[in-house]
Structure formats: structure tokens, C-alpha cells
């Protein structure tokens, strides 16, 4: 069945460091891919998405490219800030868009 | 505007008791999802409602779990005869419609602890 695997955390970085959080997926057909973020004390919110191969989603300085050949959707940011400290979830949806499959989340801690 | 709200925010119950968790979606959103997040795990899809269509219950883990959505708005997730393994955070999300173009908005969750 469809599934998402993302790197385990926590990930601890210094401010202005480069961030990569790996995400790979298994799916039948052509899913859509998402990154959600959960800031401390807040609900999950969509960070970015990509709906087809080679699409790049971007938001708030974060980027992720839908790589069909490697079944990956790695999240990157060139220079992280303390305010980026949160838990990041990779997710995919089936083509019926009724079901979403989430990874286990990666906690990011950014130190000043 | 108001976001998705859930109540209670925390619930502690004894094994074997029934619990009801409530979700108030954003007004006008026709799609509503329930997820479960166990400790250290990702979100597990439970059930999906779209308008007046029959819900997709394929994610419900057992027949002790049920959900309803009255009037196309408020939804209640009921867990009967709770077990300790039901302890988790239960998240509700809503979207304007079903589809990848529609962003899901998540509520803050209900943290359930079964003793």
C-alpha cells in the first residue's frame, strides 16, 4: 500500500545552517506530495505541495521537488531560523484525494 | 476567521469506557477528515466525509470506532470500550472540497489517554 518514510529526528541545527529533511514514498499510480509543519502549540498546517513529477513546491524559503525516478520529496531550506523550529511531516495523497498518508514527522530544533 | 476546533482538548478515561470526540470544521468546508497520531508515529487516516456522500470508513481500526457528521458540519468520533492502545492524539481536518487543490486545515487535536 501507499506509504511515506521520512528521516528520524530530532534534527538540531544552528541558525543560518542548510536544512535537508529526507522523504521517500511508495505509491501506486501518481500521488500528490505535501509537506506539513506543526509549530509548538499549534495545529498542522500545509507548508508546500507538488502535484506531478518534477514540480517544485516552495513556501517561506522552503523547497521540495517531486522526484519520480527516486520516489523522493526532500525538504530543503538554505538558511534556517530559530522560528523554523517545528515538527515537519511529509505526506502523499492518492489520486482520489480521499486518503492522505503521513510520515512519522521530523522534529527540527534551530539554535541561535 | 475561526479555524477548525476540537473538543475536549484532553480526555482521560478508564479502559472499557466510551468516549466522544467532537470536531467543528471551518464553516462552508464540505470535506472533513479524522486522523490518529500515536506517540512517535505519523498520522493515521481514520475516516473521511465529503458532503452528503457515504463516508470512507476504510481507515477505522476496529468496529469500536465510529463517526458521524450531522448536517454536513459538526462531526463526532466515538470510541466504544476504549483500550489502552487507543491512547493517541486525534486530529480533525477540513477542506473546502475534496481534491489536491484544496488545502486541509487541521484542528489542535484531542489528546486521549486511556488508563
Closest-approach residue (CA) in chain A for B40: A104
Closest CA to A35 of A79, A93, A98, A91: A91
pLDDT at B99: 60
pLDDT at A8: 86
Contact yes or no for B100 and A91 at CB 8 A: no
Flag whether residue B107 sits within 8 Å of chain A, measured between CB atoms.
Answer: yes
pLDDT at A58: 96
Contact yes or no for A104 and B42 at CB 8 A: yes
Separation between Cα atoms, residue B45 and residue B32, nearest integer Å: 11
Do residues B47 and B57 lie in contact, with contact meaning Cβ atoms separated by under 8 Å? yes
Give the distance, in angstroms, between the CA of residue A47 and the centroid of all CA atoms in the same chain. Answer: 8
> In sequence order, which residues have a C-beta less than 8 Å from that of residue A83 and are 6 or more positions away?
A110
The residue among A97, A104, A105, A107 with the most chain B CBs within 10 A of its CB, best to mutate, is A97
| Cell numbers for B37 | 497520531
Flag whether residue A92 sits within 8 Å of chain B, measured between CB atoms.
Answer: no
Spell out which residues of chain B touch residue A105, defining contact as CB-CB under 8 Å.
Answer: 42
At residue B37, the 3 state secondary structure works out as strand
If you search the block for the grid coordinates 470535506, which residue do you land on?
Answer: B31
Separation between Cα atoms, residue A9 and residue A12, nearest integer Å: 8
Closest-approach residue (CA) in chain B for A52: B100
If you search the block for the grid coordinates 523547497, which residue do you land on?
Answer: A63
> In sequence order, which residues have a C-beta less than 8 Å from that of residue A59 and are 6 or more positions away?
A47, A48
Separation between Cα atoms, residue B1 and residue A75, nearest integer Å: 30
pLDDT at A20: 97
Separation between Cα atoms, residue B112 and residue A71, nearest integer Å: 35
In tens, the pLDDT along A8-41 reads 889 999 999 999 999 999 998 788 899 999 998 8
Spell out which residues of chain A touch residue B109, defining contact as CB-CB under 8 Å.
Answer: 43
pLDDT in tens, chain B (115 residues): 578 999 999 999 999 999 999 999 999 898 899 999 987 777 888 998 988 788 888 889 999 999 999 887 899 999 999 999 999 999 999 988 766 556 788 999 999 999 9
Contact yes or no for A99 and B99 at CB 8 A: no
Amino acid at each position: 500500500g501507499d506509504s511515506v518514510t521520512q528521516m528520524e529526528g530530532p534534527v538540531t541545527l544552528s541558525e543560518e545552517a542548510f536544512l535537508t529533511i529526507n522523504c521517500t514514498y511508495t505509491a501506486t499510480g501518481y500521488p500528490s506530495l505535501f509537506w506539513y509543519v506543526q509549530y509548538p502549540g499549534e495545529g498542522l498546517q500545509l507548508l508546500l505541495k507538488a502535484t506531478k513529477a518534477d514540480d517544485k513546491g516552495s513556501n517561506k524559503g522552503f523547497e521540495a521537488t517531486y522526484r519520480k525516478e527516486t520516489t523522493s520529496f526532500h525538504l530543503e531550506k538554505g538558511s534556517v531560523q530559530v522560528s523554523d523550529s517545528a515538527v515537519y511531516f511529509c505526506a502523499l495523497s492518492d489520486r482520489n484525494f480521499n486518503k492522505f498518508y503521513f510520515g512519522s514527522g521530523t522534529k527540527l530544533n534551530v539554535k541561535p | 476567521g475561526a479555524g477548525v476546533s476540537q473538543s475536549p482538548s484532553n480526555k482521560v478515561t478508564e479502559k472499557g469506557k466510551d468516549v466522544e470526540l467532537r470536531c467543528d470544521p471551518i464553516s462552508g468546508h464540505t470535506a472533513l477528515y479524522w486522523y490518529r497520531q500515536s506517540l512517535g508515529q505519523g498520522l493515521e487516516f481514520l475516516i473521511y466525509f465529503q458532503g452528503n456522500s457515504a463516508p470512507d470508513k476504510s481507515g477505522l481500526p476496529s468496529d469500536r470506532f465510529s463517526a458521524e457528521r450531522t448536517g454536513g458540519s459538526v462531526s463526532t468520533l466515538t470510541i466504544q470500550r476504549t483500550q489502552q492502545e487507543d491512547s493517541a492524539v486525534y486530529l480533525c481536518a477540513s477542506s473546502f472540497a475534496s481534491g489536491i487543490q484544496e488545502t486541509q486545515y487541521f484542528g489542535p487535536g484531542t489528546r486521549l489517554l486511556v488508563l
